[in-house]
Structure 1
């Protein structure tokens, strides 16, 4: 058990200490961590089933703007560990996980508050031209805090918790155990409703019901619905895509230079005049240039931009760490200049970091290269562009990644996992990461090559809205399938009238298969639209689930 405790503690640490995003991104998701905790504790099947059940609750919990509505990392790792320790039915994993997720919010507050201290240490290090300290401050202190806040409790839970966990399960009355399973059967409705609240444009909502009834009536599997919905989305995308009115004039220079006064883009082949009559420097005449290798290294360093995520400046320290390699290349053998240039990145910054956000850093690199070669680019110009693109990139990135790509892949992965297929979490983790980091790498390079003006033209073109709508159609139909299959509630209520027996569930089935799960999901969705806090909805699900189970109104399929 000692080895298991150590392994689970490591998982808990890196679930919050985001030292390298490709290794840590999916550690925030119970579907991934459930299997890993199960392997660490010698019961991968139970771990996977527990993680999948927990993940269903959190399909729609989207972290935006540095705000975390619930700690899914703690829910997944601690909830799965407790399920395995107690040997409980994996459907009970949800009831173990939710209290941990709420406790995890306090853990996040402690972690990100303490991390603010290292930002001030980094300011002082740059003042003293101690650039190497930035790397240390970005990784080591946050690792120690994560180990204390997340790792030690997880270690103690696994090492010492088996006896009281099994004892706790044994003392729970059988009726209460059944009632808690009913709660677990209702709880996925919350995750599904949160996605509907996020994706549910009025014009697209019917696709949710199409997905639901395709499964309820035709018994289609989730993969079949996903393929069917993707084809529908493609046809709609093609039908609504605007034809190009005129060809875009080809531009000869692909990197960014800035006008001395106005900060407007001047794209020129060589020696063109800016709006103020000053001569701009062509990219072809740069004396100091970043190579493809330099760009790749900077992109890799960018994957650590949230290692010391903190309340005061969020990603600032990580992005300063990201720029060290390129700044050293642009200003060789001048530590004072290197430190001075890095200071501009120690300001508040926050955007979606993995998929769309990297375009901002590519643009910043293009501007840094122009600045190092004598172009009229100021530190304010660079931070003005970064700040201006921060919001749009976050809005698009969070919507597409967390609100569309994640729920589609997680829904498929959960369905596979709950059918005892180990490919479920593997499929989700691998495909999800390939998608977001391939796009992120391309966006980073695109930002460097094209500069601000071309990126803004894409954001304003409307094509992203059409792509988002197409993905939303797929997401809504897949989520509809999840509502039909994973809200596992039925009614065992029976009336006896003379010699006849009337079963409520039979009546409901004749009205429409799955109408009870659909009604519950729509009710939760309605409450969310009325701004009822999700925590109160969770409390309500516990109360109603337990009460209706004891009254014989609700049962599990």
Structure 2
């Protein structure tokens, strides 16, 4: 149990370090879920839960001043609790968002403390010492990584039995409702994402993907490959000098929905 808690904590820690390596998006549930399943000996369930939580959190990205729930901690702990208790996607969906919101609150407290380290960077900038600036970046990143490791390690090590008791206390009709919500929430995640990116130029491709998947029975991977081919052709990536499809004036005149 201790070894599993440590390994799951390290998975969450890697999710935090992902930002330091250029935001590779390996902190997403679709990547970390299978890793949690591997640690707990149930990769299949880890993949299923990770994919479902990825759809749930698809629209949970930072835009402007908006700080989304902690996808990393919510996905890792929800997957770990669901697998360790012998539950499936329904339980993970029920746990993921509350855990992510609580983790966000804890993260805000940590973020209120770590800016004291910025004085090191200010002094380095004033003295022309870039090493102090880099040190500050890694120091603040280390704080976030360590706190996430400790949070996940502690929560999984002491919380599995309590979470199991909570799930046993919840009436079956509530869990059934969570199962229905598990099918609805991915659509909500797509809708949140579409509100940020959809515009008049993208609408035809959206319906093209729908037609290919629904009426031509092309799997999602096939639709994705077709989308990549269209993007390569539309933006001229195979030409000597790639050009954008449309100039700045055309883009500015295109009203978003």
2:244 matched to which residue of 1? 464
Q: Following TM superposition, by how much is the alpha carbon of 1:464 offset from its aligned partner in structure 2, in angstroms? A: 3.3
Q: Residues 449-488 of structure 1 correspond to what in structure 2 (within 5 A)?
A: 463-466=243-246
Q: Following TM superposition, by how much is the alpha carbon of 1:46 offset from its aligned partner in structure 2, in angstroms? A: 1.8
Change (3 A) 1:19 1:133: farther
Which deviations, in whole Å up to 9, do the C-alpha atoms of 1:294-331 show, x marking residues without a partner?
A: xxxxxxxxxxxxxxxxxxxxxxxxxxxxxxxxxxxxxx
- Work out the CA distance in 2 between the residues paired with 1:236 and 1:146: 40
Q: Following TM superposition, by how much is the alpha carbon of 1:45 offset from its aligned partner in structure 2, in angstroms? A: 2.1
- Work out the CA distance in 1 between the residues paired with 2:24 and 2:116: 24
Given that 1:27 and 1:73 are in contact with CA atoms closer than 8 Å, whether structure 2 keeps it comes out as no
1:56 matched to which residue of 2? 55
Which secondary structure state, in structure 2, belongs to the residue aligned with residue 46 of structure 1? helix
Given that 1:4 and 1:41 are in contact with CA atoms closer than 8 Å, whether structure 2 keeps it comes out as yes
- Work out the CA distance in 1 between the residues paired with 2:226 and 2:174: 41
1:33 matched to which residue of 2? 32
TM-score by length of 2: 0.81
Given that 2:14 and 2:27 are in contact with CA atoms closer than 8 Å, whether structure 1 keeps it comes out as no
1:411 matched to which residue of 2? none
- Work out the CA distance in 2 between the residues paired with 1:19 and 1:208: 30
Given that 1:83 and 1:90 are in contact with CA atoms closer than 8 Å, whether structure 2 keeps it comes out as yes
How many residues align? The count is: 246
Which secondary structure state, in structure 2, belongs to the residue aligned with residue 48 of structure 1? helix
- Work out the CA distance in 1 between the residues paired with 2:176 and 2:200: 37
2:116 matched to which residue of 1? 117
Change (3 A) 1:25 1:174: same
Which deviations, in whole Å up to 9, do the C-alpha atoms of 1:390-439 show, x marking residues without a partner?
A: xxxxxxxxxxxxxxxxxxxxxxxxxxxxxxxxxxxxxxxxxxxxxxxxxx
Change (3 A) 1:198 1:141: closer
1:14 matched to which residue of 2? 14
2:209 matched to which residue of 1? 211
Which secondary structure state, in structure 2, belongs to the residue aligned with residue 202 of structure 1? coil
Which deviations, in whole Å up to 9, do the C-alpha atoms of 1:200-225 show, x marking residues without a partner?
A: 21242132222223222232111222
From the CA coordinates, give the structure whose radius of gyration is larger.
Answer: 1
Change (3 A) 1:134 1:75: same
1:222 matched to which residue of 2? 220
- Work out the CA distance in 2 between the residues paired with 1:118 and 1:206: 49
Which deviations, in whole Å up to 9, do the C-alpha atoms of 1:5-60 show, x marking residues without a partner?
A: 111222223323457416x6334211111112222233222222211110011223
1:85 is aligned to 2:98: no
- Work out the CA distance in 2 between the residues paired with 1:165 and 1:200: 39
Given that 1:13 and 1:146 are in contact with CA atoms closer than 8 Å, whether structure 2 keeps it comes out as yes
Paired residue for 2:198, among 187, 197, 200?
200
2:180 matched to which residue of 1? 182
Q: Residues 123-522 of structure 1 correspond to what in structure 2 (within 5 A)?
A: 123-125=122-124, 127=126, 132-140=131-139, 142-148=141-147, 150-233=148-231, 463-466=243-246
- Work out the CA distance in 2 between the residues paired with 1:186 and 1:202: 26
- Work out the CA distance in 1 between the residues paired with 2:53 and 2:215: 27
Structure 1: state its 5+ residue gaps.
242-457, 468-528, 530-557
Which secondary structure state, in structure 2, belongs to the residue aligned with residue 25 of structure 1? coil
- Work out the CA distance in 2 between the residues paired with 1:109 and 1:17: 17
- Work out the CA distance in 2 between the residues paired with 1:209 and 1:129: 54
Change (3 A) 1:146 1:232: closer
Q: Following TM superposition, by how much is the alpha carbon of 1:128 offset from its aligned partner in structure 2, in angstroms? A: 6.3
Structure 2: state its 5+ residue gaps.
248-256
Which secondary structure state, in structure 1, belongs to the residue aligned with residue 200 of structure 2? coil
Q: CA RMSD in A?
A: 3.1
Given that 1:47 and 1:84 are in contact with CA atoms closer than 8 Å, whether structure 2 keeps it comes out as yes
- Work out the CA distance in 2 between the residues paired with 1:90 and 1:184: 8
Q: Following TM superposition, by how much is the alpha carbon of 1:177 offset from its aligned partner in structure 2, in angstroms? A: 1.7
- Work out the CA distance in 1 between the residues paired with 2:92 and 2:204: 32
Change (3 A) 1:231 1:181: same
- Work out the CA distance in 2 between the residues paired with 1:19 and 1:204: 29
Change (3 A) 1:196 1:140: closer
TM-score by length of 1: 0.40
